[in-house]
Structure 1
Amino acid sequence: MALSPHTTQSGFTLPSIHSFPPFFTKQVNLATQATVTEHWTKLILSYARHKRLFTIRVEDAQKAGNDWDEILRNERINRSLPPSHLSYILNDMVSKNLAMYDPPKQTGSVLLYWRSPEEWAETLYDWVSSSGQLNTIMTFLDITDPPVQTPLSGLPLTILRRAIGVLQKTNRAQMIAITEGEGVRFFGGR
């Protein structure tokens, strides 16, 4: 089989390295493994962005039929990423601040930063500004589950809190306790 990009059923284009059998095994040579890990990291983050996935678990490499099958398995070459290799990759991503363990104090599940908290902060602020909601109080639910789909729809609360934290440091937002739970007020000016 020739090494060439492949488009999945969801329309995602897998890089040609995804057709290279050793890509799916942990490499003994540290430099080679670092390169493989870097390719897997880019692949995981770009696929997560494509499908709007926020979480990946080590068990996703074990069980077929999940959101990650298109990249964790390659039926064309009869390969799949072993859970131990995925765990190694996720640990590397956490160490480089490209993901975070969620829930904390475990290593089997991570939240992915296919946008950094700083990028989410700018996306959030731009959306609030363009929708005319500066200087109003919004609940977290207003932001992550609005009646009309937005770039923030479905955003995990952990990432939302981090994005708000970024905005707080620049005096563009303030967290507020409200009867409906948690809320935030956004201020004008950059």
Structure 2
Amino acid sequence: MSAPTLAPRTTPSGYLLPSIHSAPPFFTQQPNPNTQAVVTEHWTKLILSYARHRRLFMLRVEDAEVAGNDWDEILRNEQIHRRLLPSHLEHIITDMVEKNRAVYEPARQTRSVLLYWRTPEEWAEVLHGWADATGQLNTILTFYEIIEPPVPSQLSGIPMTLLRKAISVLAKTSRAQIISVADGEGVRLLPGNSSR
């Protein structure tokens, strides 16, 4: 078979694409459900890994329809003249939501998702760790101060929906308390299971 070489390659953004990205069938929805399940799992891992690399939080079916967006490096492979079709991406997105690796955002539609390259539980730990490291436990913080901190952090630019989910996780373990503040909502992050 004189197909293009199946080898990993690095994108302009510095992301290392797996060798499967050079296989034309990877971009085609497979008729066999078992084969498609494997392809979908590979795409899911690729999407989440790439999103983490680029700090992308949203993925839309339109990203497969229109060129020139943040997702081009993985949704297209010009070397083999292939691209992921919108219907295939929609199938992958549905699977990701079913497996709790993404959530429809906004709700009540199926063409746009918030990606969980970190789960809300993992973001909760990042948030709590950040507050602890910056000496802000027991301090009332607005959501804006968390999303747009004076010193960039892992939380910079996190979507509000994801921040709320992380805070909710912390609230359930008595490590966060939601507080009304003058310009909306705030949170007090608490030390947690300290033995007093």
* TM-score (normalised: structure 1): 0.99
Is 2:174 aligned against 1:171? yes
The letter of the residue matching 2:146 is: I
Q: Show the counterpart of 1:66.
A: 69
Displacement of 1:188 in angstroms is: 1.1
Q: Show the counterpart of 2:79.
A: 76
Please say if residues 28 and 88 of structure 2, whose CA atoms lie closer than 8 Å, have aligned partners that are also in contact.
yes
Is 2:169 aligned against 1:161? no
The letter of the residue matching 1:66 is: N
Deviations 1:44-76 (A, max 9, x none): 000000000000100000100000000000000
Counterparts of 1:35-114 in structure 2, within 5 Å, are 35-114=38-117
| d(CA) in 2 for partners of 1:25, 1:177 | 49
Please say if residues 173 and 192 of structure 2, whose CA atoms lie closer than 8 Å, have aligned partners that are also in contact.
no
Q: Show the counterpart of 1:140.
A: 143
Q: Show the counterpart of 1:28.
A: 31
Deviations 1:62-107 (A, max 9, x none): 1000000000000000000000000000000000000000000001
Deviations 1:16-57 (A, max 9, x none): 000000100100001000000000000000000000000010
The letter of the residue matching 1:44 is: I
Match of 2:5 among 2, 10, 18: 2
The count of aligned residue pairs is 190
TM superposition outliers: structure 1 runs of 4+ over 3 Å: none
Deviations 1:91-130 (A, max 9, x none): 0000000000000000110000000000000000000001
Query: 3-state SS of the aligned residue for 2:80?
Result: coil
Q: Give the unaligned 5+ runs of structure 2.
A: none
Displacement of 1:189 in angstroms is: 2.8
Query: 3-state SS of the aligned residue for 2:130?
Result: helix
The letter of the residue matching 1:23 is: F
Q: Give the unaligned 5+ runs of structure 1.
A: none
Query: 3-state SS of the aligned residue for 1:42?
Result: helix
Is 2:14 aligned against 1:11? yes
Q: Show the counterpart of 1:184.
A: 187
| d(CA) in 1 for partners of 2:62, 2:12 | 22
State the identity %. 66
| d(CA) in 2 for partners of 1:171, 1:76 | 52
Q: C-alpha root-mean-square deviation of aligned residues, in Å?
A: 0.5
